[in-house]
Amino acid sequence: MSSPAPKITKIAVYQVDLPLKEGSYKWSEGKSVQTFDATIVQVSTDIGVTGYGECCPLGPTYLPSYAEGCRVGIKTLAPSLIGKNPLELLKLNEYMDKCLKGHPYVKSPIDVACWDILGKVTKQPIVTLLGGRFGEEYNLYRAISQGTAEEMRRSVEKYQSEGYKIFQLKVGGKIDEDISRIKACSDILAPEELLIADANTGWLMHEAVRVCNAVRDYSNVYIEQPCATYEENASVRKQCQLPMLMDESMDDVHVLNRIITDKSADGINLKISKVGGLTKARMIRDLCVSVGLAMNVEDTWGSDIATAAISHLAHSTPPRYLLMSTDFNSYVSKDTADGAPKREHGCMRAPEGPGLGIEPKMAVLGKPLFEIC
């Protein structure tokens, strides 16, 4: 006789401040952040297995998400999840969408925590459940905070010495300054290195076209999310000879279908919390693989727990389609879990333990802000 299905018995929510090692992180239109506000979710079951997930928006000005909103949303959603089976991930996601319209970032840490539970129950790492580990490691990029052309060039040189080969340059400011930033950093790259000029929606269409034309002879440059809307980016893509990535506009499978149909981008940024968790991120990842669209697998931000989730999705993605990924836990000065993946020479690998393969540091998490039973 089979064992009864496990049930969710409690959802606890923790808040952790994550100061940046470099002091501040700056991107388009003068936006910046010094300390990230992370929400960590603990999902407990009646079989004694507990899972963890994390959501950390890049402040309230990057996407339609913010840290306090995540916690309020979980407080609204969590009571309806008590008694549900955490192993039935697609069914659970359908139910969450029924109980709370929209707000995918609210659902993401719950979904990831349930993947953690599934891995622990089946004694497998999430990377195996997502399709299997490709190779020994995968490539990381390093985000270069916006500054002068010379400051950004020095940052690229610093991270070249640490083994990174892909650099995401934060542009989206004054056009002449952005062109200088891109050229200064591209000039010091080796042939196998890449520069992603990420405007974070900061340019108007005519400005984006000017930048693309000015740097079109740099074969190692990609343009990322130059303008605010899907339609604007699609227009720029038609006039740009460089590869283009869609990020902020790429928030669900319906947008991905438009990108595929319109050929409006050459790759996407797949952010786990932006699409609602690993369940939906896997759907999008697999569709990209099936049509030959490259991806950057990441999230909005986070600490060890978010980085572990990213690592499992990235390491289970066929290398040909994985353009890059990220190591957010190396940017912040606070560790939230033992066993988290760490970068080595610009690369990373997913943990091998069951589930996420990490153990949260409860002394760092402190007392929960609230618990729903």
Residues forming the active site: 170, 271
Q: What is the Cα–Cα distance from 163 to 71, expressed in whole angstroms?
A: 37
Q: What is the Cα–Cα distance from 35 to 41, expressed in whole angstroms?
A: 19
Report the C-alpha dihedral over residues 111, 14, 249, 253, rounded to 10 degrees.
0
Query: Residue 185: helix, strand or coil by DSSP?
Result: helix
The kind and range of the H/E element at 223 are strand 221-224
Report the C-alpha dihedral over residues 34, 188, 299, 212, rounded to 10 degrees.
100
Number of H helices and number of E strands within the chain?
13, 18
For residue 60, the tally of other CB atoms under 10 A from its CB is: 14
Q: What is the Cα–Cα distance from 215 to 205, expressed in whole angstroms?
A: 16
The pair of structure tokens assigned to 290 is: 């099936």
